Structure 1
């Protein structure tokens, strides 16, 4: 029997196909066990890395780790004993605190009970101090010819205006902080997109971008560091994203966080969502630049009329006027 007849025999072909089928079954089940083993090892490594990052963030928040770009996360400042005592005895929380006070302080970068107590104390003390200073100035130092009751009315008015000074200072701080975050946010989105497409998780991406963006905006680096900590500690990742949007108070940041929440909830591509939001951020930045460029001519109109045109007329007409007045008989 030659090899051709052997290969063409029915029993031989059945045995070969049965052996191939058995080998395929063994390979299929074996590969599935190998993949599961590799998946378990990968999950274990991710869990260990997350625990390590959680420990690092806890140490950072406690102040024992190095700060981002030489600055630590702003921790709660413990107020003075008399400040806390005044706030508690006079119950200033009912008088000056509302539902949005804590959120406004967080938008300005002040977090914790200590900053809240200090702000309430300032709102109570500032109008009294301005009232006393105005009375001393108007009644004793510069009384003038005005009657006493009129000076007291002016002093009371100054005290009422002074009650809004802490609110204005807080709003000014919030505006400066939002401007810094808004300028650095498009670059932050690009860096987040690069990190996610490189295979990093969102925790590692926020942590890495927080370190890199600190040179451009320390405020944004601080917010990203807090978000990294919340992503490690909170059970719901959506809460960490919502907190970031609430702390910044910017519509651009809130829209990105909403996209991340939807991507995490429905299982869509995070990289695709970040890519779309990054393109929108660049378009918004270009639109803001075009808006500023378009508003420049109207802003320059008044300075040109007041400062440039008079000088131009003087330069043009001065030689002729000098000749007219220097010529006998023409200058009078």
Structure 2
């Protein structure tokens, strides 16, 4: 057995195979750190790819939304709708500066939304009146009420149809203002970072519009429109004032006034933006604290109506079962 082992070890072919195996192992062991990927580098690469994908999806969504809005603003008006509005001169009768500002705050710009708004304010009262007449007189609703009450219900339905477009625009404007107000402090922080890094205000607004779309598409749209107005308007002050008018927020108005003063007197924009960003963030925090403080009074009635009866049933239920089984408490 020993002779066989010694013969095998001293065999030249075995020695060559052993040396080749050792050389291969040493080569692999030496090259393994270079071939293996750095975990931190791989993670950073994955994060960068994910960020690029998120930006690409967000930009595609913003582009689709902008195309949809652009098509909605530029599409052909109905000839009959426009003719009716022009013949009855509804713009002079129903449109004032407050109505135009409300439409702008709601995101409706141009002549097409205004024409539709006036047309529906003209048509919906008759629609509501017809529906109320069918419901009351044809279907026999309110049979016990006198004729005066039935006519009054029909008039109320027509009046509601007249103000239904106003309610829709108001609701749309409120939701849009809330969306812009929630994302405005973050937009100011991003603008401050861009300005302090050496970017111009136009490039900063464009950059912020690309990044803030994930939080508020409405704010991104307004910033893009402001950037376009800064490019072609003769007075940059008008672009800032238009932004404040379209949003209808005091926080935005304060920032635009600071930008106008910076443009006029050459004062640094970064310090003003920092102060205004802190104020906007504090205002948002105060609004959240106000809502939180209003929760206890709002929860009182639901607790009395829903929680307490269930609690009493859970506590007194076994006692009631015992009394029903035994006929007494003892």
Q: TM-score, normalised by structure 1?
A: 0.76
For 2:152 and 2:300, the matched residues in 1 are separated by 42
For 1:281 and 1:149, the matched residues in 2 are separated by 54
Match for residue 92 of structure 2? 94
How far did 1:161 drift?
2.1
For 2:166 and 2:221, the matched residues in 1 are separated by 23
For 1:216 and 1:240, the matched residues in 2 are separated by 23
For 1:326 and 1:264, the matched residues in 2 are separated by 86
* Matched residue SS, 1:199: coil
Match for residue 290 of structure 1? 289
Question: Aligned in 2, Cα 1:150/1:281: closer, same or farther, shift over 3 Å?
Answer: closer
How far did 1:260 drift?
1.0
Match for residue 56 of structure 2? none
For 1:176 and 1:79, the matched residues in 2 are separated by 26
Please say if 1:121 is aligned against 2:119: yes
Higher helix share: 2
For 1:239 and 1:246, the matched residues in 2 are separated by 10
Runs of 4+ aligned structure 1 residues displaced above 6 Å come to: none
> Deviation string for 1:182-236 (max 9, x for gaps)?
1111110011001101111111111111111111111001100100000001121
For 2:125 and 2:84, the matched residues in 1 are separated by 15
Question: What runs of 5+ residues in structure 2 fail to find an aligned partner?
Answer: 1-58
Match for residue 232 of structure 1? 231
Match for residue 268 of structure 1? 267
8 Å contact kept, 1:69–1:214? no
8 Å contact kept, 1:325–1:331? no
Please say if 1:187 is aligned against 2:186: yes
Please say if 1:163 is aligned against 2:162: yes
Question: Aligned in 2, Cα 1:148/1:308: closer, same or farther, shift over 3 Å?
Answer: closer
Question: Aligned in 2, Cα 1:313/1:148: closer, same or farther, shift over 3 Å?
Answer: closer
1:35-184 matches, within 5 Å, as 68=62, 70-72=64-66, 74-75=69-70, 76=73, 77-142=75-140, 144-146=143-145, 148=147, 150-184=149-183
For 2:61 and 2:288, the matched residues in 1 are separated by 33
Question: What runs of 5+ residues in structure 1 fail to find an aligned partner?
Answer: 1-64
* Matched residue SS, 2:134: helix
* Matched residue SS, 2:108: coil
For 2:131 and 2:229, the matched residues in 1 are separated by 46
* Matched residue SS, 2:65: coil
How far did 1:177 drift?
0.6
Q: TM-score, normalised by structure 2?
A: 0.77
Question: Aligned in 2, Cα 1:301/1:123: closer, same or farther, shift over 3 Å?
Answer: same
How far did 1:273 drift?
0.8
* Matched residue SS, 1:244: helix
Match for residue 196 of structure 1? 195
Cα RMSD over matched residues? Answer: 1.9
* Matched residue SS, 2:66: coil
Match for residue 279 of structure 1? 278
For 2:323 and 2:127, the matched residues in 1 are separated by 64
Question: Aligned in 2, Cα 1:253/1:312: closer, same or farther, shift over 3 Å?
Answer: same
* Matched residue SS, 1:164: helix
> Deviation string for 1:138-157 (max 9, x for gaps)?
12222535555543332122
